[in-house]
Structure 1
Amino acid sequence: MNQAEKHEKVHRVFQKIYKKYDAMNSLISFNRHKAWRHRADQIVDARKGERVLDVCCGTGDWTLSLAETVGPKGKVIGLDFSDNMLKIAQSKKEAAQVENVNLVNGDAMNIPYENDSFDRATIGFGLRNVPDYLTVLKEMNRVLRPGGTIVCLETSQTKIPVYRQLYFLYFRFIMPILGKIFAGSYKEYAWLNESASKFPDQETLTKLFLNAGFKNVSVVSLMGGIAAIHSATKPSTSELNN
């Protein structure tokens, strides 16, 4: 599958599953995704008044959490290419009466912001769905200010024997069936299995962060390695000039 085909396929998937997306996330992760995001939030460590970009923001849960953290003097941009997912995020924004969030329909492969625009950037369960991982990481590096922080929460590849096999059996067979039963979307959840199974392991993803220009890459492994949080920083101005 080439980049254009993957882009179109992923767009179709999320345009279809948006209504049941939040409920299915809780179901297929046994509700662990909320605890994982809370841990990722702690690693982001956003400060009052900062500007934060949430890439592949989906239905906006992380976006709104970050907005609360940075406060009314801060700003959070939620970027996603699915207008249906953004509709859900918009409804949550309105219900929460949040003023410091902008929801933008845009492409993670070509982020529509100038260099050095944000203090921090996040991407949660979205990197595996983009056409090219490295391109997106480079784009996130570009829009971060020198010294800025990136945090990525994503599925990963556990290496624990037996557990690894059980994990892939669950993703390959059980998760699509749950998608069919509860969301009427067997093919779409089969695709999510495919995207997760092909996603780099923690060491490979660390190398991609370094290739994208980040430094100080740290990894927090979650639930035996089936998910992970990668965090890193963009070199300071003095380091960039050396």
Structure 2
Amino acid sequence: MANRYLHNVHGLFDTIAPNYDRMNNIISLGTHRHWRKQTMAQISLAPNAQALDLCCGTGDWTIAIAKELGPTGEVIGFDFSAPMLKIAQQKVTQAKLTDRVWLRRGNAMHLPFKTNSFDLVTIGFGLRNLPDKRQALAEIYRVLKPGAQLVCLETSQPDQPVIKPVWQWYFTKVVPFFGRIFAHQYQEYSYLQETTRHFVSYQQLVILFEQAGFEGVHYERFNFGAAAAHFGIKPEADHE
């Protein structure tokens, strides 16, 4: 079942890759850049840090991290979609960051990296698309160095009585409509809004972080709760 799920999701993101950036701007009304900027403001990176950006898509967050690093730092952008990574590579080259950005294709639930490898792991708008969130968080925990940070930026659900029905209407009706009009991909964007609606709440994600072993877990919500950034630290004492 998991393999079939992954195959279907792979195909979906391969299909939407050419329109991905434009549709992100349309669906979020451009606010996804603000969410990422606000999240980045809470990340402290040493110039020589080794970072991993999971589910990196077309590479925007990968590039933002790379710009914070010095020439001795490195960020790996990791994704399962070859078409997404192709676009990301074009952006990396255009930004003249090929000296500190490496792009790799693979499965975020089975990371091909050694234990205690990274000073930072980020995952933006990708955790909800993984069939086993706990397995993914366990792998992230494993590859982080003790004392290093996980940052997850993800769509979320507003819980204010006035905002929640508007949000539900927007994602169930408007988002698929935008997919049909602007990208001719109604089914694909119907799926994406479903993953957003059925993803765990921001409170439940805190619990998943803590169950994976992370400490100091906290979050920041954006746009009345339409998105949330979660932060967690791998304990210093954990040397596995």
Q: Same fold (TM over 0.5)?
A: yes
Alignment gaps of 5+ in structure 2? none
SS of the residue aligned with 1:166? helix
1:169 has 2:137 as partner: no
Alignment gaps of 5+ in structure 1? none
- Deviation of the 1:157 alpha carbon: 1.6
Looking at structure 2, the residues matched to 4 and 173 of structure 1 have their Cα atoms a distance apart, in angstroms, of 29
Looking at structure 2, the residues matched to 134 and 96 of structure 1 have their Cα atoms a distance apart, in angstroms, of 34
- Deviation of the 1:30 alpha carbon: 0.6
Farther off after superposition, 195-204 or 41-50: 41-50
Which residue pairs with 2:137 in the alignment? 137
Whether the 8 Å contact between 1:217 and 1:232 is mirrored in structure 2 is: yes
Which residue pairs with 1:215 in the alignment? 215
- Give the share of equivalent positions with the same residue, in percent: 43
State the number of aligned residues. Answer: 239
Which residue pairs with 1:57 in the alignment? 56
- Deviation of the 1:5 alpha carbon: 2.8
Structure 1 segment 150-189 matched on structure 2, within 5 A: 150-189=150-189
- Deviation of the 1:8 alpha carbon: 1.6
- Once the two structures are superposed, what CA deviation does each residue of 1:91-122 show, in whole Å capped at 9, x if it has no partner? 00111111100000011000110000000000
Looking at structure 2, the residues matched to 155 and 128 of structure 1 have their Cα atoms a distance apart, in angstroms, of 8
AA of the residue aligned to 1:22:
D
Whether the 8 Å contact between 1:43 and 1:231 is mirrored in structure 2 is: no
- Deviation of the 1:6 alpha carbon: 2.3
TM-score (norm 1): 0.96
Which residue pairs with 1:114 in the alignment? 114
Whether the 8 Å contact between 1:15 and 1:85 is mirrored in structure 2 is: yes
AA of the residue aligned to 1:146:
P
Whether the 8 Å contact between 1:151 and 1:230 is mirrored in structure 2 is: yes
Moved over 4 A (4+): none
AA of the residue aligned to 2:138:
K
Looking at structure 1, the residues matched to 172 and 8 of structure 2 have their Cα atoms a distance apart, in angstroms, of 18
Which residue pairs with 1:193 in the alignment? 193
Which residue pairs with 1:7 in the alignment? 6
- Deviation of the 1:65 alpha carbon: 0.8
